[in-house]
Amino acid sequence: MKSQQELLNSTNFCVIVPTYNNRKTLKKVLDSVLDFTPSVIIVNDGSTDETFNILKQYPQLTQIHHPKNLGKGRALRNGFRKAIEMKFEYAITIDSDGQHFASDIPNFIAAIQEEPNSLLIGSRNMTQENVPKKSSFGNKFSNFWFKFETGIKLDDTQSGFRLYPLRLLPKRFYTNKFEFEIEVIVRAAWKGIVVKNIPIQVLYDPAERVSHFRPFRDFTRISILNTVLVTNALLYIKPRDFFRRAKKKGFKKFFLEDILESKDSNFKKSAAIALGIFIGLSPFWGFQTILLFALAALFRLNKVIAFLTSNVSFPPFIPFIIYGSLKIGSIFVPSDTSLFLDSSMTFDDIQKNAAQYIVGSLILASVSALSAGLISYFLLTAFTKKRTE
C-alpha cells in the first residue's frame, strides 16, 4: 500500500485557491496547502485589501491577478484554464476563508484512486455549532434542486472544497459568480461524470471568516440558474437519458426489466400510467413534459412509465383528440358553431371554441386516465399473480 506522500506524488493534481479580500486567513490557508503540494494556483479576484502584498511572499506559486472583482465563478474558470495549460489532470479547489482543512487533501486523492475521473465534493457537517442558518438552508435548497435536475442525491452541493477531473468538464460555461459551482456540477453530471460527496472537516470562525455571498442578489442568480437547468433537464436531459438507456439495453428488454419488473407496486405503476395519459390528453401544450416530470417527481411515480404513456397524443392521434375534446366540451359549454372532423375544420374554429376544447379535454383526460389506471392495475395484478404461480 502506498504511503500518503507516495499517493500525493503519484497523482497529477494541483490546488486552486480563489481569493477576494481574505487577508486574515489567506496566509494560513496557503501555508497549510503547501504542506501537501507545491502545485498551487492562486487566483486573486481583484482584492482591495493587503492580498497583493501577502502574495509577494509566495513567488513560487502560480498567480493570476484580476484587475477588478469578476466573481468566484470567473476566478475558478480562469484557474481551471491555467491548470489545463500546465497539464494537470485534476484540480482541488479550496476556499481562502479558512473554513476548510488542507489536511483533507489526501482524502480527496485517496478517493479519486478508487473511482478515477469523478467529481468529488467535500461534505460538511452543517449541524455543528456556529454554522450560519442561511448556509444550512441554502445547502438544503441547493441539494433539492440538484437531485431534481440530475437524479443524484448529495448531502452537500455548496462546499467549495472539491476535486475536479479537468479534461472531462464542459468546454464552455455561462455563469461567473457563486452560481457557477452549481452549474459545473449539474452539467458534469449530465455529461455522465460521477459526482459524489466525501466527508471533510469544517471550521466556522465568526471572528476570522469573511463571506462575500450577497443573499438577495446571489440567491436571485442561483434561482434563475436553477430555473434554466430544470427546464433543460425536463425538456432535453431526462428524455435523452431515457432513450439512451432504452437503446443501450434494447427496447423490449428495457420495457420488461425497467418498467414491468421495476420495484414500484402495481398501484404506483398504474398511477404513473394514469398520470401520463392525463398529461398527454390535457390542454397544456408546450408545458406537458415539464408538468409530467414535475408531478412524477412530486408523487414519486415511475417517470419512464409516465413519459411513455404521455405519448398517447403523438401526431396521428391529435386531430381525433382535439375533435373528441370539442365534442365533450360542447355538452357543458354551448356554442353556435357545429364542428365536423373533416377538411372544413380549421384552427380558427378551434380558437373560437377554446372554452369548449379546454373543458372537454380536461374531462377526456380525467376519464381516460382513470380508466387506463384501473385497467392497467388489474392487468398488472393478473400478470404478477401469474408469474408467482
The label of the residue with cell 431515457 reads: 242
- 40-45/195-199 β-pairing: unpaired
pLDDT of residue 245: 74
Specify the higher pLDDT residue, 268 or 47.
47
Helix/strand/coil (H/E/C) assignment for every residue in the chain? CCCHHHHHHCCCEEEEEEECCCCCCHHHHHHHHHCCCCCEEEEEECCCCCHHHHHCCCCCCEEEEECCCCCHHHHHHHHHHHHHHCCCCEEEECCCCCCCCHHHHHHHHHHHHHCCCCEEEEECCCCCCCCCHHHHHHHHHHHHHHHHHHCCCCCCCCCCCEEEEHHHCCCCCCCCCCCHHHHHHHHHHHCCCCEEEEECCCCCCCCCCCCCCCHHHHHHHHHHHHHHHHHHHHHHHHHHHHHHHHHHHCHHHHHHHHHHCCCCCHHHHHHHHHHHHHHHHCCCCCCHHHHHHHHHHHCCCCHHHHHHHHHHHCHHHHHHHHHHHHHHHHHHCCCCCCCCCCCCCCHHHHHHCHHHHHHHHHHHHHHHHHHHHHHHHHHHHHHHHHHHC
Cβ of 282: how many Cβ atoms within 10 Å?
A: 23
pLDDT of residue 180: 94
The answer to whether 355 and 333 are in contact (CB under 8 A) is: yes
For residue 60, what is its C-alpha cell? 513560487
Task: Please give the share of the chain, as a percent, with pLDDT higher than 90.
Answer: 45
> Given pLDDT bands bounded at 50, 70 and 90, which one contains residue 348?
low
How large is the average pLDDT for residues 21-45? 96
Specify the higher pLDDT residue, 143 or 215.
143
The yes-or-no verdict on residue 115 having pLDDT over 90 is yes
pLDDT of residue 36: 95
In this prediction the pTM is 0.69
- 13-19/90-93 β-pairing: parallel
How large is the average pLDDT for residues 22-31? 95
The answer to whether 83 and 167 are in contact (CB under 8 A) is: no
pLDDT of residue 206: 57
Rounded Cα distance between 70 and 83, Å, is 19
pLDDT tens digit string along 352-379?
Answer: 567 788 888 889 989 999 999 899 888 8
Rounded Cα distance between 183 and 185, Å, is 6
pLDDT tens digit string along 189-225?
Answer: 999 999 999 999 988 665 555 565 565 676 788 888 8
Q: What angle do CA 87, 91, 92 make, to 5 degrees?
A: 155
pLDDT tens digit string along 279-316?
Answer: 888 888 767 878 888 888 888 888 878 888 887 776 66
Mean pLDDT of the chain: 84
Instruction: Give residue 328's Cα distance to chain centre.
Output: 41
CB neighbour burial string for 185-199, b if at least 16 within 10 angstroms, e if fewer: bbbbbbeebebebbe
pLDDT tens digit string along 322-336?
Answer: 778 878 888 887 765
For residue 353, what is its C-alpha cell? 371554441
> For 34-38, 252-256, 359-363, which range has the lowest pLDDT when averaged over its residues?
252-256
pLDDT tens digit string along 53-106?
Answer: 999 999 999 999 999 999 999 999 999 999 999 999 999 999 999 999 999 999
Rounded Cα distance between 308 and 365, Å, is 16
